[in-house]
Amino acid sequence: MTLDEYTAAFMTALVGAVASIAFILETVIRRDTGPGRLWATGYFCGLSATLAYAAWAAGVGGTFAIAVGNVMFVLVPGFVWLGSRQFSDRALRTPAVVVAVGAVATFAAALIDAAQPDGWGGWPVMAASLVVLFIAAAVEALRAPLRLIRSSWAFAAVLLAAALFYAVRLMVFVIAGPESAVFQQWFGPTAANIVTVVLTMVAVIVTSVLRANRTSRQRYAWLTRGGVAADGILLARTSSSVHRGGRRASRSSSSTSTASPGSAGRSGPKPPTTSTPRTVSPSAATRPPRRSSAKTATGGSSSVLSRPRRPTRAASRRRSTAAAPKSSPARHPVCSRSSVSASR
């Protein structure tokens, strides 16, 4: 089967449009945040590139349409790279600057080299930007924690294949030119459209799997090892959950330690506790305090009054028993009657 250029372009536009709209709608419905939004922005850029190229083919926009299409196509791997870095909780400032520089350079090159026929103006700059961004996205897909998900391996393989294709295509374009037979047969628009279709299908499947995996990981981040980022730091959601749990535990412990007024009213007032006074023998009470010698600051000894030692309970009991007057034993009733009769 032979595919002509227009059929391949229509197939690429149809597949890209359906996949991009499906992913964007799912992102809007799920109200996704983080890498999902960045990936959805990348698909929107791909859809915009298709519309810009269609407008140029219809004779609308001219060189400006080509420049916009080139910029949007460069932003596709750029946002894929940014979304992958966001998935791994890495910084986005420097990569965003790199993507912006590539987009500006591509737009400027398309406007400056507008004299090229068939819309090839500024294409070498666009191809070089695509190679750099595809390689960066593939390397990010092979880093932890993305590499722990097996689907990212296929994603990285497709990204590296796309980078290799555009690198070889750029070399043939610079050496032989876009009108050469080698370029038209192996690296022409039809081959590029096939590569774009394969890349789009794999990217939609893998990014959907990664987004679902990130949602489940954030839901149970404080229970699993997914709560720890690649650099060993707790994720923001995990640390906030830990802090909230700690505050709740401290409030519950403080509330249980202090009795509430309502519970005191229901249980009623507690009866006053009475302590049994200790009995101290008179001898112990009138005993003079003991003197103890203590070292003075000058090294001598001086007698100072010491606090009388409190008698123990057993000693107090023995002293009170010894000080109590002895009572005569009770007489037996029989003995008492006999003594009364003897006296009579």
Residue 118: HSE in the Cβ half-sphere, 13 Å Cα cutoff: 5
SS3 content of the chain, % helix, strand, coil (to 5): 70, 5, 25
Nearest to 45 by CA among 67, 66, 64, 71: 71
CB atoms closer than 10 angstroms to residue 188: 17
Cα distance between residue 311 and residue 308, in whole Å: 9
The pLDDT score that the predictor gives to residue 337 is 45
Residue 124: other Cβ atoms inside 10 A = 16
223: pLDDT strictly greater than 50? no
Average confidence (pLDDT) over 124-142: 95
At residue 147, the pLDDT reads: 87
pLDDT at 338 over 80: no
Higher pLDDT, 62 or 138: 138
Least confident of 73-82, 113-122, 262-271: 262-271
Domain spans, the chain: 5-215
Give CA–CA dist 146/88, Å, rounded. 7
Mean pLDDT, residues 18-47 taken together: 90
Looking up tokens 């420049």 gives 67
pLDDT of residue 306: 47
Q: Is a pLDDT exceeding 60 seen at residue 330?
A: no
Torsion angles phi and psi, residue 307, rounded to 5: -65, 135
List the single range of 191-195, 208-212, 245-249, 331-335 with lowest mean pLDDT.
331-335
Peptide bond before residue 145 is cis, with ω within 30 degrees of 0 = yes
pTM for this model (two decimals): 0.63
pLDDT for position 254: 58
What is the average pLDDT value for the chain, to the nearest integer? 75
CB-CB contact of 84 with 35 (8 Å):
yes
Q: What is the mean pLDDT of residues 135-164?
A: 91
pLDDT tens sequence across 241-251 = 555 655 565 66
Residues 6+ apart with CB under 8 A from 147: 141, 153
- pLDDT band at residue 264, thresholds of 50, 70 and 90? very low
Residues 187, 58, 133, 12, Cα dihedral to 10°: -60
CATH code for the domain defined by 5-215:
1.20.1070
Task: Identify the residue with better confidence: 126 or 314.
Answer: 126
